Amino acid sequence: MKQVLHRAPWLATGSYAPDLPALISNGAVLMANGIIQAVGPWPSLREKTAQVVEHEGCVLTPGLVNCHTHLELAWLASEAANHPMPPDQGSMTAWIRELLEKRGINPPLAVIMAAGRSTLDRMRDSGTILVADIGNAPASAAIGADHSTRVLFLHEMLGRDNPGLVPAGLACTPHAPYSTDPELIRTLKERARSAGQLFSIHVAESADEVQFLKAGTGPMRAFLMERGAWTPSNPVPGKGAISYLDQLQVLDDHTLCVHCVHLDKAELDLLARRQAKVCLCPGSNRYLGVGRAPVMEFLKRGLLPGLGTDSLASNVSLSLWDEMRTLRADWPELDPAVVFAMATSGGSQALGQADVYGLLAPGRTARFLAVPLPEMLVDGEILSYLTTAGANLRPQWVEG
């Protein structure tokens, strides 16, 4: 068995658990058969019979995990870049309206696929190893097939779509509590449960959504009526998004709640009790002006969220480095080690892939990143640099 020992001045392990330090100085990672065998300080591993590869001036990190995007919307990128911050802050419904109008253009499938594929290439080049990708068209599953970045594709359904028409084996997901028939939400959760698949749903993204779910009023009501997706004869849940999903009995440790911006304390407790997973999208939330997710409240309850970029229709970048930077700017009091863990191990846990991705730890993939650092950084500055440097970072893939 050929063993390779990768040595670097620092390892950022992706951990935020007591059994593995978040940062190891003068560290080494022992690889064999494409799997990490051991991780630790160099003196503890130097005796191993292995080829040594030096990564001078670098920090070694796990590949980053993006828990939520829509590659089939990548062709809308230039539009989003032209409007980085809409002036009508907080108008989620206005944004959806605009998105549907643009999607009505219906570009050729080849254009959608090519934009998705080159976007995925850029995500890989920025250091992303695993992505959960949501698409309305089953054909969009091909965008991420056979790519060096692993893509978990979820086919999104809404309204009263018929899951019976979906090819067996294709993982499905409901769009959101306000847009999807309760019976369809339940059916898709059952389908995911029996196949052992992840069940992901947009939840409590905007105040408009929660106002509609609780009271059946506001801009979301007007929008849904205009689309013929709701009439006053349909009841509304009369409660917040998480309470509603719990009533539908779809919250468990394989349910990924994406956004989670507008939750009350009882709903935060409920999420923690059900051990549901959380994905935060700080860049998209800022772009749409819907508010900041209560990240401190999740952490207080022992929930380590993952991070997602959402799509290029509501974000200017799909780089997790930028996402970490936005989160730190939103919450300066956050420990950089937690932010880095969210982009790595938090994400792999959220997607049910923690055995393979998200950590520099024994048993995980030997595909990882070497990130060059500016000179003169000391221990206390490494994680802070990684979580604030954004697009200035130039990670290199290493195949252990």
Residues that bind Zn ion (CB under 5 A): 310
Question: Distance between CA 320 and CA 279 in Å, rounded?
Answer: 13
Cβ-based nearer residue to Zn ion, 202 or 221:
202
CA geometry: angle 84, 150, 199, nearest 5 deg = 80
Closest separation in Å from C-beta 68 to Zn ion = 6
Q: β-strand 58-62 against 367-372: which pairing, if any?
A: antiparallel
The residue length of the chain stands at 400
Question: Distance between CA 213 and CA 225 in Å, rounded?
Answer: 14
Closest separation in Å from C-beta 134 to Zn ion = 6
Buried b / exposed e along 290-311 (16+ C-beta atoms within 10 A): bbebbbebbbeeebbbbbbbbb
Closest separation in Å from C-beta 73 to Zn ion = 9
Question: Distance between CA 240 and CA 181 in Å, rounded?
Answer: 16
Cβ-based nearer residue to Zn ion, 176 or 382:
176
Cβ-based nearer residue to Zn ion, 246 or 310:
310
Closest separation in Å from C-beta 61 to Zn ion = 26
Q: Which two tokens stand for residue 17?
A: 């658990």
Cβ-based nearer residue to Zn ion, 61 or 140:
140
Cβ-based nearer residue to Zn ion, 263 or 398:
263
Closest separation in Å from C-beta 69 to Zn ion = 7
Closest separation in Å from C-beta 284 to Zn ion = 7
Cβ-based nearer residue to Zn ion, 208 or 310:
310
Quote the DSSP letter at residue 73. G
Q: Which two tokens stand for residue 44?
A: 């503890």
Helices (H), the chain: 42-45, 77-82, 92-103, 109-125, 182-195, 207-215, 219-226, 241-247, 265-274, 282-288, 295-300, 320-330, 336-341, 347-350, 379-386
- The residue number whose beta carbon is nearest to Zn ion equals 310
Buried b / exposed e along 98-113 (16+ C-beta atoms within 10 A): bbeebeeeeeeeeebb
Closest separation in Å from C-beta 311 to Zn ion = 6
232-239 CB contacts, 8 Å cutoff, 24+ apart: 236/212, 237/177, 237/213, 238/213, 238/214, 239/213, 239/214
Closest separation in Å from C-beta 399 to Zn ion = 31
Cβ-based nearer residue to Zn ion, 276 or 386:
276
Cβ-based nearer residue to Zn ion, 72 or 310:
310
